[in-house]
C-alpha cells in the first residue's frame, strides 16, 4: 500500500489537512462533491503556502513540491489507493454515515478510517462499518497549518494499532496529538462550545455588543480572540451542529443552543465563510 492520504471534504478543515500532509511529504487526494470547493481549496492552499514562504518558514521548492503532491477528485472511487482516509465533510451525522459506508466499501484493507468530526460519536460512526477497529477520531484545530493540537479519539472498538498509526501521522505532520475518550464534543468542544453559546446568550439578552463581549474575554481572560470572533471563524452552522450533538448525546439542558444562534444559521449568516456572522467580513 502507498502512503497516500485521502482527505474527504475540501472546506476550511479539509484544505488545511491536505496542506500539512502534503508539506510533510505525503501524496494527498482531496475529494469533494463540489468542484467549486476543490478549486477554492487549491487556491487557498497555494495562498497559505505562499505566506509560509514569505515568512521564511518554507522553501519555494518545498511549496512547489507540496502543491504537486495534491490531486483532487469529485468521486469517492479515488480513495481506492489510500493508506489513510481522513473524513472532513460537513458536520452532519447522516452525511457521515453515508460517507463512511462508501469509505468502508472502497478503502483498501489495512487503511485507517479517520474522521475530523468536532463532536459526533466515533463509536456511532464505527458501529455501522465492517471494520470498526480501523475507525478513529483525528480532530485537527482551525486553522490547521497554524494550530498545534490534534485530539485523537478512540471509539470503543478502535485497535491499538489504529491509535498508534494515527498518533504517528499527527506527529509526522508536525502536530502534538492528545488522546482522549469518546463522549460528545470530546474535550475541546465540550469546554469551548458552552462558552461560545453563553456569549451568544449575552448578545441575545443585550448584556453587551459582540465587540464588547469579545473585548471583555480578550482583555479580562487573556484569550487571543473573543468567543464571537472565534464562533464566526469556526462557522456558526458548525457551532450549532456541535451543540445539538452535545445536547442530544449528554441530555443536559445546559448544552441547549441559544435561539439567536439558530436564527443566524437560519438566515445563512454563518460567519466568515459566508461574509457575515456576528461581524461583517
Residues making contact with ligand NAD (CB under 6 A): 8-14, 31-34, 37, 88-91, 95, 99, 116-118, 139-140, 142, 234-235, 238
Among 127, 146, 262, 144, which Cα is nearest to 204's? 262
Rounded to a whole number of angstroms, the minimum distance from the CB of residue 124 to ligand NAD is 14
Closest-approach residue to ligand NAD (CB): 11
Closest to ligand NAD by CB, 13 vs 228, is 13
Which C-beta is closer to ligand NAD: that of 116 or that of 158?
116
Sheet with 5-8, side-by-side order of all strands: 70-73, 28-31, 5-8, 84-87, 112-115, 135-140, 149-154, 176-181
- Shortest distance (Å) from residue 56 CB to ligand NAD: 27
Residues in the chain: 281
**Is the Cβ–Cβ distance between 149 and 141 less than 8 Å?**
yes
CA–CA dist 194, 276 (Å, integer)? 22
Judged by CB, which is closer to ligand NAD: 71, or 90? 90
Give the active site residue among 48, 118, 121, 197.
Answer: 118
The single residue of 19, 91, 121, 139 carrying the catalytic annotation is 139
Residue located via cell numbers 504517528: 168
Q: Which of 15, 48, 189, 197 is catalytic?
A: 189
Grid cell listed for 53: 514562504
CB-nearer residue toward ligand NAD: 53 or 73: 73
Residue nearer to ligand NAD on the CB measure, 184 or 235: 235
Give the nearest distance from C-beta 205 to ligand NAD in angstroms.
26
> In the structure grid, which three cell numbers stand for residue 268, read together?
445563512
Told to judge if 118 belongs to the known catalytic residues of this protein, a careful annotator would answer yes
Q: Are 30 and 75 in contact (CB under 8 A)?
A: no
Round to whole Å and give the CA distance between 212 and 228: 10
Instruction: Classify 267 in phi/psi space as left (phi over 0), alpha (psi -120 to 50) or beta.
Output: alpha
CB of 226 vs ligand NAD, minimal distance in Å = 15
Q: What single-letter DSSP state applies at residue 276?
A: B
The active-site residue out of 87, 124, 151, 244 is 151
Is position 87 annotated as part of the catalytic site?
A: no
- The CB-of-238 to ligand NAD minimum distance in angstroms stands at 5
**Which residues are part of the catalytic machinery?**
118, 139, 151, 189
Amino acid at each position: 500500500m502507498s502512503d497516500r492520504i485521502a482527505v474527504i471534504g475540501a472546506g476550511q478543515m479539509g484544505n488545511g489537512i491536505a496542506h500539512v500532509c502534503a508539506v510533510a511529504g505525503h501524496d494527498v487526494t482531496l475529494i469533494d462533491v463540489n468542484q467549486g470547493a476543490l478549486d477554492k481549496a487549491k487556491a487557498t492552499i497555494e495562498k497559505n503556502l505562499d505566506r509560509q514562504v514569505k515568512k521564511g518558514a518554507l522553501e519555494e521548492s518545498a511549496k512547489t513540491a507540496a502543491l504537486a503532491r495534491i490531486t483532487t477528485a469529485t468521486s469517492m472511487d479515488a480513495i481506492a489507493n489510500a493508506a489513510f482516509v481522513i473524513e472532513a465533510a460537513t458536520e452532519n451525522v447522516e452525511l457521515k454515515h453515508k460517507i463512511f459506508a462508501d469509505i468502508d466499501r472502497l478503502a483498501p484493507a489495512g487503511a485507517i478510517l479517520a474522521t475530523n468530526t468536532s463532536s459526533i460519536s466515533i463509536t456511532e460512526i464505527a458501529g455501522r462499518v465492517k471494520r470498526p477497529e480501523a475507525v478513529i477520531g483525528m480532530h485537527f484545530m482551525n486553522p490547521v497549518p497554524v494550530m498545534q493540537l490534534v485530539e485523537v479519539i478512540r471509539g470503543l472498538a478502535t485497535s491499538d494499532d489504529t491509535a498508534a498509526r494515527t498518533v504517528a501521522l499527527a506527529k509526522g505532520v508536525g502536530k502534538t496529538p492528545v488522546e482522549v475518550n469518546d463522549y460528545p464534543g470530546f474535550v475541546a468542544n465540550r469546554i469551548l462550545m458552552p462558552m461560545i453559546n453563553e456569549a451568544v446568550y449575552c448578545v441575545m439578552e443585550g448584556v453587551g455588543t459582540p465587540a464588547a463581549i469579545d473585548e471583555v474575554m480578550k482583555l479580562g481572560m487573556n484569550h487571543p480572540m473573543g468567543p464571537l470572533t472565534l464562533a464566526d471563524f469556526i462557522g456558526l452552522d458548525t457551532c450549532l451542529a456541535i451543540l445539538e450533538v452535545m445536547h442530544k448525546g449528554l441530555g443536559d439542558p445546559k448544552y441547549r443552543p441559544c435561539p439567536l444562534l439558530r436564527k443566524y444559521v437560519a438566515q445563512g449568516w454563518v460567519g466568515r465563510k459566508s461574509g457575515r456572522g456576528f461581524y461583517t467580513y
